[in-house]
Structure 1
Amino acid sequence: MGYPQTGNEVYVGFSLSDTMFSGIGKGTITRETVSADYLKDLFAKYGVVVSAKPEQRRLLEMVNSIYDLKLEIPETLKIIQLSEKHRRLVTISVQGLRRINGSLLPEYSDEEFQEATFGFVKYYVQSRHYDELMAENEKLKKDLDLEIAWRTRVSDI
């Protein structure tokens, strides 16, 4: 695998569920599309834990082959849950493959796999809630406006 074990690993999987976020409490989640090169740097810094079903092995092999991510291919599904130390989750989106009720199928033909394309989305849970950040921004803006008013005041004396 080659990635470090830091205690703050990035979780990687093919899907997203509410239960993944239940261990973090109240926070703000940011979402951004990222590149494979960005992920290599992120994984090199924090390490990585892969959560994938055994039948998704071939998809992981394709991702590793195409993007050289060197992701470990687990034998069993690892259930992941974000926590205070594990705040990053990357989902690998797969386009071009048939689905049933929105879910990937257990098997595909070689021809179907050739049609697959992949994308990467990073989710990050901030420790502070959006409402707290907005309140702090409002206070800072008010303080700044007062400071500007004081410095640019005009006196009639």
Structure 2
Amino acid sequence: MSYPKTGQEVYVSLNLSNTMLTGIGKGTITREEVSVDYLKKLFGKYGVIVSAKPEQARLLQIVNETFDLGLDVPQELKLFQLSEQHRRLVVINVQGLRRKGGSLLPEYTEEEFNEATFTFVKYYVQSRHYDDLVEENKKLKYDLDQELEWRHRTDN
């Protein structure tokens, strides 16, 4: 499966770190579990960039075989920071594999891979901060209330 190059590609990773978020400044991030069908549509629209260590190649191959996502398996780790152009990150959550210090190990047996389960979580950086939206909403409500009060006034 080949995904487009749009300049607004969705990043895909097997983990989430603070360094990925340093390029966004002040913003609101939404998080939601998403389906494979949703991901295929998302990747088909925006494209995809995979960020994974070379030793995670077998894990990505299993994801591709299991879910038919057609993700590229990178030869080297591509580091990134979310920005205005790339505001979407999908983290592949892997359950059932041994970890060391919370991190995936460089190698697993096929038996261990067969025990792994996967979920997908999309993180989206809003271009406007939640606090700014709340303030704007308050102002709009105030303006609407003033307009309604003016329209429904009575002369005494």
Question: Shorter-normalised TM-score: what interval?
Answer: over 0.9
Residue of structure 2 equivalent to 1:133? 133
Distance 2:148 2:118 in 1: 50
Q: CA deviation at 1:149?
A: 3.4
Aligned twin of 1:21:
21
Q: Which position in structure 2 is the counterpart of 1:145?
A: 145
Q: Distance in 2 between matches of 1:103 and 1:148?
A: 57
1:86-101 to 2 correspondences below 5 Å: 86-101=86-101
Q: Which is further off, 137-146 or 76-85?
A: 137-146
Alignment TM-score, normalising by the size of structure 2: 0.94
Task: Give the 5 Å matches for 1:71-90.
Answer: 71-90=71-90
Deviation at 1:156? 6.6
Q: Secondary structure at the match of 2:45?
A: helix
Aligned residue for 1:38, secondary structure, equals helix
Structure 1 portions without partners, runs of 5+: none
Q: Does 1:59 align with 2:59?
A: yes
Moved over 6 A (4+): none
Deviations 1:73-123 (A, max 9, x none): 001111111122111111000011111111111111111111100011111
Q: Percent identity?
A: 70
The amino acid across from 1:96 in the alignment is G
For residue 9 of structure 1, what is the aligned residue in structure 2? 9
Query: Alignment partner of 1:77: what SS?
Result: coil
| Structure 2 residue aligned with 1:33 | 33
**Distance in structure 2 (CA, Å) of the matches to 1:77 and 1:40:** 23
CA distance in 1 between partners of 2:109 and 2:152 (Å):
71
Offset of residue 8 of structure 1: 0.7
Q: Distance in 1 between matches of 2:115 and 2:7?
A: 36
| RMSD, aligned CA | 1.4
Aligned AA for 1:123?
Y
**C-alpha spacing 1:149/1:54, structure 2 compared with 1 (3 Å):** same
Aligned pairs, how many?
A: 156
Cα deviation for residue 151 of structure 1 reads: 4.1
The Cα shift of 1:145 comes to: 2.4
